[in-house]
Structure 1
Amino acid sequence: MHSTNYVNTFIEVAEDTAAAAATVPPERATPSVAELTFRMIADAPYRHTSDDVVFGVWARRRGVPEADRTAARETFFAKGQPCLRSSDLGKRYGWGIHADAEGRVALVALGSPEYATLAAGRAPDGTTVTVTRAMRSRR
């Protein structure tokens, strides 16, 4: 079974982002992947793992019934899936993503003191975090 989870890691915004500050993805009639990902993490910081978010967004967009989600999740992660480094939150909207020691994720706004601390390799509790970047939009 594949996983997209990170532990004690901070995903900085992409180096080629146009974002000067964090912005909320715009609401649409049919919510975008970025909007659903943002809402799921922002509404429950440090509650979900990356796997929970990636699968939850996929399942919602495809209308997978709650009763079928356990089996669908196993099938979904039977092959590799893109992780949150490829999310538009870090590529377009200026959001860093912190995964704690249990792999649960939270959003961190570009330009905030928390962002600077995490980008320097320190978690809010003082522990060391691995710092990586969101994937570039262009080659």
Structure 2
Amino acid sequence: MKPIVDTFVRVAPDCPAAYGIVPVSKGERKTLHEIQYELLAEHPYRYTLEDLIVETHIRHKLADEPIDEARRAEVRAELLRKDHPCMRASVLPKKLGWGVHYDEAGRIALYPMESERYAEFLERTDLKQEPAMRNAKAVKG
């Protein structure tokens, strides 16, 4: 997995949110995007995409399992054998109104679309700018 660096992921062109919405679980277990949000909101620029994939998986699928460093390394190696979508495919920028910034080291932070910081990222010419993936297929007319 090639690291993504110096990139800003804008909210999807068809994002239904008008501002950054904090995801909330409807059931007892937290959703993947709720865990992603919590990790990135509580620790901006701590996680790379690979780190986020591993930590989210552990908290979502292995929450009842004791995880030591050896098990964490095993889970990481197993998970990262296959490709995973980047944050462009996450519900956070697609539907919930969060921009995603990858810094020069590939670490990730979230910014709500209504914030000044989000607007500043949009103006930067030194960053690769990408929209989140659309929620629906474009209709050909």
User: Structure 1 residue 9: deviation in Å?
Assistant: 0.5
Structure 1: 5+ residue stretches without partners: 123-127
Where 2:111 maps in the other structure, the secondary structure is strand
Q: Which residue of 1 aligns with 2:72?
A: 69
Q: Distance between the aligned counterparts of 2:76 and 2:97, measured in 1?
A: 29
CA RMSD of superposed structures (Å): 1.4
Amino acid at match of 1:98: H
Q: Which residue of 2 aligns with 1:134?
A: 132
**Deviation digits for residues 87-111 of structure 1, max 9, x if unmatched?**
1000111000101111111101102
Q: Which residue of 1 aligns with 2:36?
A: 37
Amino acid at match of 1:102: A
Judge which range, 51-60 or 10-19, deviates more. 51-60
User: Structure 1 residue 120: deviation in Å?
Assistant: 2.1
- The correspondence for 1:80, drawn from 72, 78, 83, is 83
Amino acid at match of 1:14: A
Q: Which residue of 2 aligns with 1:7?
A: 5
Where 1:78 maps in the other structure, the secondary structure is coil
Q: Which residue of 2 aligns with 1:125?
A: none
TM-score w.r.t. structure 1 length?
0.88
- The correspondence for 1:120, drawn from 98, 123, 131, is 123
TM-score w.r.t. structure 2 length?
0.87
Q: Distance between the aligned counterparts of 1:46 and 1:58, measured in 2?
A: 19
The count of residues paired between Structure 1 and Structure 2 equals 132
Structure 2: 5+ residue stretches without partners: none
Q: Distance between the aligned counterparts of 1:108 and 1:6, measured in 2?
A: 17
Judge which range, 13-22 or 60-69, deviates more. 60-69
Where 1:66 maps in the other structure, the secondary structure is coil
User: Structure 1 residue 83: deviation in Å?
Assistant: 1.4
User: Structure 1 residue 37: deviation in Å?
Assistant: 0.3
> Which structure's CA Rg is the greater one?
2
